[in-house]
Structure 1
Amino acid sequence: MVEREYLINDGRSYLPPKVSVRRQRISKQLTVKRCVAALLLLSFFSITYSIVYLSYPFTSLIRREWRPEPSIMCQQMLSGMIGRLPVHDHRSIGGVRLRTDPKVLVFVETTYSKLGRDITELLVYNRIKYKVEVASKSLPVLTNLDKGKYGVIVFENLHKYLQMDKWNRELLDKYCREYNVGIIGFLLGTEERLIGSQLRGLPLFIHTNLRLKDATLNPGSPILRLTRAGETVWGPLPGDDWTVFTANHSTYEPLAWANNNSHDWTEPQDQETTKTPLVTVIQDHGGFDSIQRVLFGSGLRFWLHRLLFLDSLSYLSHGQLSVSLNRYILVDVDDIFVGERGTRLRSEDVRALLRTQEKIQTMVPGFKFNLGFSGKYFHHGTSEENLGDDLLLEHVNKFTWFSHMWNHQQPHLYENQTQLELDMALNKNFAKEHGIPTNSGYSVAPHHSGVYPVHEPLYSAWKRVWNIKVTSTEEYPHLRPARLRRGFIHRNIMVLPRQTCGLFTHTILINKYPGGREKLDESIQGGELFQTFVYNPINIFMSHMSNYGNDRLALYTFESVIKFLRCWTNLKLTSAPPHILAEKYFSLYPEEADPVWGNPCHDLRHKKIWSHNKTCDQLPRFLVIGPQKTGTTALYMFLSMHPNISSNIPSPETFEEIQFFNGRNYYRGLSWYMDFFPLVKNSTAQYLFEKSATYFDGELVPKRAHALLPHAKLVSLELCLIILDFISLNGGQYFSVVKKIKILQDLHYNKTILVNTLGSDTVCLILYRNEIQNISGYTKFPLDGNILL
């Protein structure tokens, strides 16, 4: 037994000092050992985390036992009848001699009505000319000499047509009969449910405010051209305000049916009644009153109605308003070799890419995924992802390729063109070393930077290094709305509009997709993506490498939408290289070749991809224009003398006039124009301006000036148009001046004021702004807009 030493003091026992010190030392040693052990353990877990989670991020650890797989199937695909069904050619109907313009007259209830807006947007998307009229007591002019101005008339609310006063109704009906013009009408829900109500003046009865399901088409209808019949849209149809038709005349033929889905149907709810098809869209062959009509029981919320609307326009216009059935497709895959570890392509993803490409090639002749690569990031993934990079290069000839910048840097960040060209050369050398073709003549800038707004060094470098002939962007003139995206040509490079498919770099997992799979399927099955294919003859789609790994949402999306198109449309899908697509595009839309430069500061997306050395403060605040030999040069000199007014720097070619908006200088680009103006320190107090007598006669000047200087419209006070010696002009010059003024007014320069004339025969046409109180010491601009010169 160990003896212990204790000291007794005041009846209490204590350990001797030596023993106490020894125990404290042992305790400290144990604490240090525990700390060291804890640090070792923490280091072990840190290293493990780094190996597993940094090399294989969380998304790569998710087990992919279930990925969305295309499941769309239809009778035509099963029977192999695709492409064998007859397609109606509406141009051959009746051999009618057409005496109308290919234009649509749309009657709306108000300028803000939802359906009216849907109709006009659909017409814009399909490049169909139209005119909107608010239904009122008077009709617009319908003829021009012996020719009708409209090929089809559309009523947002059919009741506006049926309830017209007798005089207007007879005029409109006479026009339709004489020029063989058809009518499209929509019947919307009403506050009061109508059962068996007869439409005024027609042997047709309606039931309103119904809920429907399971839509089908009449395969024997001569209207169907774009739309393919034979399938059923299963499930509830959008809305609870449907109208269905019951006819009492042989002139009517159903175009579409649906089943009742209402629980408060007035007739007995037996199984036979529920399954009886109800007519939702009906055709009037004109047998009753010699006027052909197509009537819809709902608006355009239902995607199938959009197709039927286009077919109805084609049929009723005798093919004048037909859209082409040919569709060209190119799918760009940006960011090849770029991406965080764990989100890149593995070998199995590349094999899946090849399998899906082969499937699509059976439906789209010539189809290949178009891969955009950034060579700097080759082999920057995990070991499995690096094998995926290698497998892509093993099958390099099975894809088409384009350069996407060596380091994926946005071109507008380069101010040194030499460095930009060097980085492009690095990507080209990488391509040569790895057998990637370099002769596509196509390239896309990261984030569409430098394409529009134009960064001139990019276009120069593209030409010198890659001999680029074609590019694409989603930014011209703006990203939204998509229906207004257009193409243009700059420095002999054709810029095509690029479309989105609903997938972006961050949408890589189906359970993280905004709105879930239901939202993605909605876009595919009749929604935005489906309609993008339908409305655009030439489609270049943007996608990203990460969309083809992980849950492979891009493979699912494109295979599914192409199958859905084949089931529901007669579109002929094909693919071609970018330069062929560009040539076809500008042969279809030659008017788009000339660009229209907009103001980069009025679009936040544009500002982000515009050189930081540029500023809109270098744009003029007002313009001085006028007929030649009227003193504009003198006025230019007088205004330039004021300390708060600065003119442009003289041009070595055209002296004090830049002559930008009216001639070939416009094609030199916005940067060239802005270089003629000084960079002002106080843009609020300083006014920049330019003058040109040539602007007055330029037909394109109002459109171009309004696009670049939109304040003239939005705040009508930032543009001053001065016309001198108006009274002394001869008759021909006078009417020329009046014509130019009307052009400006048509462009909504809505504060144009013609002011008093003086003995000096001077007139001023001015668009004014409140801030302009005193421009100079000898000329004032009163708030009422009047000016005396």
Structure 2
Amino acid sequence: MLQLWKVVRPARQLELHRLILLLIAFSLGSMGFLAYYVSTSPKAKEPLPLPLGDCSSSGAAGPGPARPPVPPRPPRPPETTRTEPVVLVFVESAYSQLGQEIVAILESSRFRYSTELAPGRGDMPTLTDHTRGRYVLVIYENLLKYVNLDAWSRELLDRYCVEYGVGIIGFFRAHEHSLLSAQLKGFPIFLHSNLGLRDYQVNPSAPLLHLTRPSRLEPGPLPGDDWTIFQSNHSTYEPVLLANLRPAEPPVPGPVPRRAHLPTVVQDLGLHDGIQRVLFGHGLSFWLHKLVFVDAVAYLTGKRLCLDLDRYILVDIDDIFVGKEGTRMKVDDVEALLTTQNKLRTLVPNFTFNLGFSGKFYHTGTEEEDAGDDMLLKHRKEFWWFPHMWSHMQPHLFHNRSVLADQMRLNKQFALVRPLDLFSTVSPRMNSSFQISPTVSNFLSVEASPPSLSYTPQTSPGPGESLCHSQEHGIPTDLGYAVAPHHSGVYPIHTQLYEAWKSVWGIQVTSTEEYPHLRPARYRRGFIHSGIMVLPRQTCGLFTHTIFYNEYPGGSRELDRSIRGGELFLTVLLNPISIFMTHLSNYGNDRLGLYTFESLVRFLQCWTRLRLQTLPPIPLARKYFELFPQERSPLWQNPCDDKRHKDIWSKEKTCDRLPKFLIVGPQKTGTTAVHFFLSLHPAVTSSFPSPSTFEEIQFFSGPNYHKGTWISSLFLPMPALISCLKKVPPTLTQRLYHGGELLSCREPRSSLCSPTLLTGPTPGTSTSEHMETQLL
């Protein structure tokens, strides 16, 4: 029996092992089949989202306020020659939400401001500087802080406002302990708090309206139950925004009909005490309050802090011909793109989609998507075009400028040359002529044309890069504009990219979302480097993976909220020039790109007086630097302080060669002596002298600054050389002459900079003797 068990046991173990292997193989096969079925099965086609309709769909405004409005009274302009264009903001704390929202709008509008904690007794900041007022407007995050000021501070502030014509904006935010009804201390106005409201509308007679279009109605309940309405019989108060009580709310005390329009934002015309104010019965969380807040700032400052009505928008569509199967555009998508473009041109003069192409991926989709590629080329002259990289490679990965230029020439040949004859008929001496798009030529006839580009033949593409197709592409490439994939090489700058752009395409304009940082978006700025104008680029919530309306991250309501008063709406409202980044995949499937921008334009025209228009990139860039000439000079920063910057910075560059210690001072004050004595220390490695001046490099205040931070690092030793000098972390020194006001803003805020302040030598003492005494 024992012998039989010894024979049977291995057989049973072998069968068990086989069974386990079969189960594993079956599981893997099932998973593979399921993955294949899910990826190849056609997705259930849902109805495409419809963009916002006409303004009438929001409902017309009802009757006006309960009492006849007073005739519009022009604002008392502040004493422009006696006040600085600075806003004084009193906040509850440095981290209060409303205070941060106020500051964010001021920063986005590029208005100067100063924040102070709301004062207690005797803590009022200095309001005047000799005979000039330091502030043109005062904002209180909490209106009660202003009302309950001690008598001395209140009199001081009110007298300043009357004497200098300064207005006040105040917010009243109710909480659970707020009185339901009370009179505002010292004012002929009553507050009724913690109410639920609905059906918001703009009073067309409100004098402060500038950007806001009057007589509009926002139907439906307002978010929250903590709204405050104002009630007064004094003629100094004019309603700005009005709403109705929700049906379940108790009636407001006093002789006010239940169905009356109740003011939630009022304007004090200054008839009571000579000070004009705007009072909000809620914070800025509701989008319409942000719009009215911008108008209030403009009105109370006499249009000194005012946004112009003109807005320039440009919609880029990156990655044309790029994308995996199932995400690309088909013929009907291209037809929808043309239809929407024509509709938007009736609302936005000269509106044209700007298409960025990578020719290597032409005809790499399904049969229907390849037909979509052909449809785009068939209507190529209806759009503007700009070059992406041929193979969508990031430029900072190319260390050799000629290799980078070769990639660009491949894209250029794809755009302009008949592909079948590319390698047999092109002569090295041949010059290609450019077809100017009719839409662009109207602008270029006024603006200076980009430099003429000569054709440079290119050797045959590498494996898998065939250009043999059956039609002539003839893509117009006259814009002088380009965008790098992932904004690589634009900032932090990759010199090879700028040089190749100019030599191959004659590029004059590009854009990036990375300068100075991606977030917060309101800090994005422009600059000029190597003759190329770099404009700030904006996101719109659409990325390569957002292709279905019902699968939008956070839900479709999140996208609609951004369009209807949210981030996307505020981007256009607060920026005179907006270049939006979208992608090819946003215009296939549910066509979210078309839905987003048609809805945005219609919503802007419903609620604002903005004059939307589109310009080609070169005139647009010139307009930008006319508005913001102070941004022409870039402000370099340490690329290793930002992970995104480090990811798109060339690997041949290292942060180890940036200086850790700077010597800053005017000439003839001993900076050379300090540099010399410090370099004697074995733990200190100094910079190399300049080959032209035979002195230490002058970076911040000289022309070297515009060449980028890497120019400075070329005069510093390699990290390997430093490590063999001393086994402790070395200190690099670099002598930099003082550059006046430029130095304070160009000076890096990281540990790279440690300015040294030096006292001057006494009369009769040489600089070196004085420095030796200082160091000893």
Given that 1:648 and 1:656 are in contact with CA atoms closer than 8 Å, whether structure 2 keeps it comes out as no
Partner residue, 2:265: 281
Q: Judging changes above 3 Å, is the alpha-carbon distance between structure 1 residues 431 and 304 closer, same or farther for their aligned structure 2 residues?
A: same
Partner residue of 1:138? Answer: 123
Partner of 2:745: 703
1:259 aligns with 2:244: yes
Report the counterpart of residue 481 of structure 2 in structure 1: 442
- The correspondence of residues 174-573 of structure 1 with structure 2, limited to 5 A, is 174-261=159-246, 263=248, 265=250, 275-433=259-417, 434-573=473-612
8 Å contact kept, 1:343–1:550 = yes
Q: How far is the alpha carbon of 1:643 from its aligned partner?
A: 3.5
**What does the per-residue CA deviation read over 1:467-502, in whole Å, with 9 as the maximum and x for residues that have no partner?**
000000000000000000000000010000000010
Q: Deviations over 1:147-195 (max 9, x none)?
A: 3222221111111111111122112111211222211111011342313
The letter of the residue matching 2:365 is: G
Amino acid at match of 1:64: K
1:72 counterpart (42, 50, 53): 53
Match status 1:590 vs 2:629: yes
Correspondence for 1:692 = 735
Distance 1:637 1:381, change over 3 A: same
The CA RMSD over aligned residues, in Å, is 2.9
| 1:340 CA drift (Å) | 0.2
Q: Per-residue displacement from partner, 1:533-589 (whole Å, max 9, x unpaired)?
A: 101100100000000001101100000011000000000000010011100100000
Kept after mapping to 2: 8 A contact 1:450/1:609: yes
Give 3-state SS (helix, strand or coil) of 1:188's partner.
coil
The 10-residue stretch of structure 1 (145-154 or 490-499) with the greater mean CA deviation from structure 2? 145-154
Q: 1:362 to 1:264 in 2, by over 3 A?
A: closer
Letter of the 1:73 partner, please give it: D
Following superposition, the deviation at residue 423 of structure 1 comes to: 0.6
Are 1:719 and 2:754 matched, yes or no?
A: yes
**Which residue identity does 1:117 align to in structure 2?**
Q
Q: How does 1:72-111 map to 2 (within 5 A)?
A: 72-75=53-56, 93=75, 98-99=80-81, 100-111=83-94
Say if 1:632 and 1:220 are closer, same or farther in 2 by CA, change over 3 A.
closer
User: Structure 1's 238 and 763: CA in aligned 2 closer, same or farther, altered over 3 A?
Assistant: farther
CA distance in structure 1 between the aligned counterparts of 2:284 and 2:664, rounded to whole angstroms = 47
Letter in 1 for 2:188: P
Give the superposition deviation at 1:95. 7.5
Alpha carbons of structure 1 residues 611 and 760: separation in structure 2 relative to 1, 3 Å: closer
Contact 2:662 2:736 in 1 (8 A): no
Per-residue deviation, residues 292-338 of structure 1 (Å, max 9, x unmatched): 11100011101101110111111111111111110001000000000
Question: What is the CA distance between 1:597 and its match in structure 2?
Answer: 0.5
Contact 1:91 1:318 survives alignment (8 Å):
no
Deviations 1:581-632 (A, max 9, x none): 1001000000000000011111111111111111111111111234434443
2:708 corresponds to: 669
Cα pair distance change 1:762/1:112, threshold 3 Å: farther
Contact 1:723 1:763 in 2 (8 A): no
Residue equivalent to 2:649 = 610
Letter in 1 for 2:45: R
Residues 699 and 736, structure 2, Cα contact 8 Å, conserved in 1: no
Query: CA, structure 1 residues 630+222, in 2 after alignment: closer, same or farther (shift >3 Å)?
Result: closer
Mapped to 2, the partners of 1:435 and 1:612 lie a distance apart of 37
Once residues 95 and 632 of structure 1 are traced to their aligned partners in structure 2, the CA distance between those partners, rounded to angstroms, is 50
Aligned-residue offset at 1:260: 2.2
Aligned-partner SS, 2:240: strand
Q: Which amino acid aligns with 1:711?
A: S
- 1:751-762 matches, within 5 Å, as none
Q: Is the 8 A contact 1:210 1:262 kept in 2?
A: no
Give the residue type in structure 1 aligned to 2:376. L
- Structure 1 pair 693–426 and aligned structure 2 pair: CA distance change class (3 A): closer
> What is the alpha-carbon distance in structure 1 between the residues aligned to residue 691 and residue 771 of structure 2?
33
AA at the equivalent of 1:689: L
Q: Distance in 2 between matches of 1:464 and 1:604?
A: 31
Counterpart residue type for residue 111 of structure 1: A
CA–CA distance in 1 between the matches of 2:671 and 2:336?
68
Q: CA deviation at 1:663?
A: 1.0
Q: 1:406 is matched by which residue type in structure 2? A: W
Q: 3-state DSSP class of the match of 2:355?
A: strand
SS at match of 2:385: strand
Task: Give 1:633's match in structure 2, choosing from 665, 672, 688.
Answer: 672
Conserved? CA contact 1:366–1:576, under 8 Å = yes
**Sequence identity, in percent?**
53
**Alpha-carbon separation, structure 1, partners of 2:127 and 2:227:** 32
Residues 634 and 759 of structure 1: CA distance in aligned 2, closer, same or farther (over 3 Å): closer
Q: Bigger radius of gyration, 1 or 2?
A: 1
SS at match of 1:472: strand
Q: Given residue 211 of structure 1, which amino acid in structure 2 is its aligned partner?
A: G
Q: Distance in 1 between matches of 2:246 and 2:347?
A: 36
Greater Cα offset, 507-516 or 633-642 = 633-642
Does the C-alpha gap of structure 1 residues 103 and 625 become closer, same or farther in structure 2, counting only changes over 3 Å?
closer
Counterpart contact for 2:550–2:556, Cα < 8 Å: yes
1:479-532 Cα shifts (integer Å, max 9, x gaps): 000000000000010000000010000101112210111111000000000110
Task: Measure the CA separation in 1 of the matches of 2:299 and 2:222.
Answer: 25
| CA distance in 1 between partners of 2:188 and 2:491 (Å) | 56
**Structure 2 residue aligned with 1:86:** none
- The secondary structure found in structure 2 opposite 1:290 is coil
One-letter code aligned to 1:123: L
Length-normalised TM-score, structure 2: 0.82
Does the Cα contact within 8 Å between 1:547 and 1:554 map onto a contact in 2? yes
Q: Match of 1:742?
A: none
**1:93, 1:670 → 2: CA distance?**
49
How far did residue 140 of structure 1 move?
2.4
One-letter identity of the residue aligned with 1:167: W
Secondary structure, counterpart of 2:510 in structure 1: strand
- Aligned pair count reads 674
**Unaligned runs of at least 5 residues, structure 2:** 1-21, 61-71, 418-472
Per-residue deviation, residues 166-225 of structure 1 (Å, max 9, x unmatched): 122112111211222211111011342313301110001101222222211101111111
Q: TM-score, normalised by structure 1?
A: 0.81
Unpaired runs of 5+ in structure 1? 1-34, 80-89, 713-717, 731-757, 765-787
